[in-house]
Amino acid sequence: MRQPSALRGLIGCLAIILAVAAPRSAAPAAKNLAHLTFAGVISEADRHYLGLEKSAPFSLQDIKAPYILLEIMRTGCPHCVDQTPAMNQLHKLVANSHLKDKVKIIAVGEGDQAGALARFKAAHKVSFAMVPDPGWEIGTAFKIQGTPTTVVLDKHGNVLLTEVGVFNSAAGMFNRLKGKVK
C-alpha cells in the first residue's frame, strides 16, 4: 500500500531531523594517530607557540605540550567561521589557566590556496596556531565527514575527545577539556 505524499514528506523530514540531531561526539575511525605529521609550513609565531625547532614538517611528539586540541576546518566553511569566536575564547581560557603548558591548540586548515589560511587568521584574529593541510592528509587520517571537527589527543596520538560540528560555548568545551587532561 502506498503512503500518501504528505506522510512520505513527513517521514523524510523526520529522517533529516534525526540525522542532524544525532549525537555530535563520535570518535574518529583511527584510535591512535602517533604517526600524525604536519607537513604545511607555519608562521614563526606559531612555531614558537608550539615550541617547535622547525616550522615543517613536525609531528605530535615535537610539540612542547602533552595534549593537543586540533580544530580541523576549512577556510571557506561557514560553520568553521561561526566557530572561530568560540575557539578564540577557548584559547584564552586555556592560556589563562593551569592548562597553559599542557594543551596547545592548532587549527588544521584544508589546503592553503594563495595564503587563505594566513588571511583567515588575520581576518578572524586567531591567536592559536594554524597549520595548512595541503593534501587533506590530516583530515583523511581522522576520516573527517564535516567541518569543523574538534579533536583532543595526547602527544602519543591517542584520541581523547571528538566534537563534530560547531560548539558555541567555549566554557563548556573548556570544562570538557579539563575532564580529559591530566
DSSP state of 70: E
Render pLDDT for 119-137 as a digit per residue (tens, 0 to 9): 999 999 999 999 998 888 8
pLDDT grade for 31, boundaries at 50, 70 and 90? low
- Does 101 map to a domain? yes
Q: Which residue has the cell 514528506?
A: 9
Greatest alpha-carbon pair distance for the chain in Å reads 69
Cβ pair 41, 50 in contact under 8 A: no
- Does 111 map to a domain? yes
- Least confident piece of the model among 10-19, 21-30, 98-107, 146-155: 10-19
Task: Return the CATH number at 111.
Answer: 3.40.30.10
Q: To 10 degrees, the CA torsion angle through 71, 91, 44, 80?
A: 30
- Does 13 map to a domain? no
Cβ pair 109, 83 in contact under 8 A: no
Give the C-alpha separation, 39 to 134, whole Å: 8
Overall domain count for the chain: 1
Cβ pair 138, 56 in contact under 8 A: no
Q: Which domain holds residue 73?
A: 24-180
Render pLDDT for 50-76 as a digit per residue (tens, 0 to 9): 999 988 889 999 999 999 999 999 999
- Does 57 map to a domain? yes
- Does 8 map to a domain? no
- Does 130 map to a domain? yes
